[in-house]
Amino acid sequence: MKVIYTASAQSTGDGRNGHTRSSDGILDAELAVPTEMGGAGGATNPEQLFAAGYSACFHSALKGVARAAKAPIADTAVTADVSIGPNDVGGYILAVALHVEMSGVDQATADKLVEQAHQVCPYSNATRGNIEVTLDTVVA
């Protein structure tokens, strides 16, 4: 792989209860186990960070494929719901639901653009075959 950019972050503390910081200091956050998982909450967690990254990356991919197709999309938003639950061997597994909203095109075009974005988004490519990712597209 020809590398164009490498992001680096370090986590310290007790893992899910600790601190994370990117090498450039732009991301600098406390981490806490969510209350739903028996923790204190009150800080971000790996699932929220993954959801933020995936939604931003997918949104960029959507804008790129729409530009290439000369599709006049507008008012776009991507929400990533990242869920965590137990797997069959005592660990945990993630699932992602991507909810995409847009206007400016019909439903069939929107669905096609979202599927194309799913093929080019690095997060989609990294998760494909590893975790369940569902897509939902709404045209307003």
Q: What would the pLDDT profile of 1-59 be if each residue is shown by its tens digit?
A: 999 999 999 999 998 899 999 999 999 999 999 999 999 999 999 999 999 999 999 99
Model pTM? 0.95
For CATH 3.30.300.20, list the domain ranges present in the chain: 46-139
Q: What percent of the chain has pLDDT over 90?
A: 98
* CATH architecture label of 1-44: Single Sheet (2.20)
Which helix (H) or strand (E) segment is 120 a member of? helix 107-120
* CATH architecture label of 46-139: 2-Layer Sandwich (3.30)
- Inter-CA distances, 56 with 9, 23, 53, 134, Å: 18, 20, 5, 16
Predicted confidence band of residue 131 (pLDDT cuts 50, 70, 90):
very high
Round to whole Å and give the CA distance between 64 and 43: 33
Q: What average pLDDT is seen over the chain? A: 97
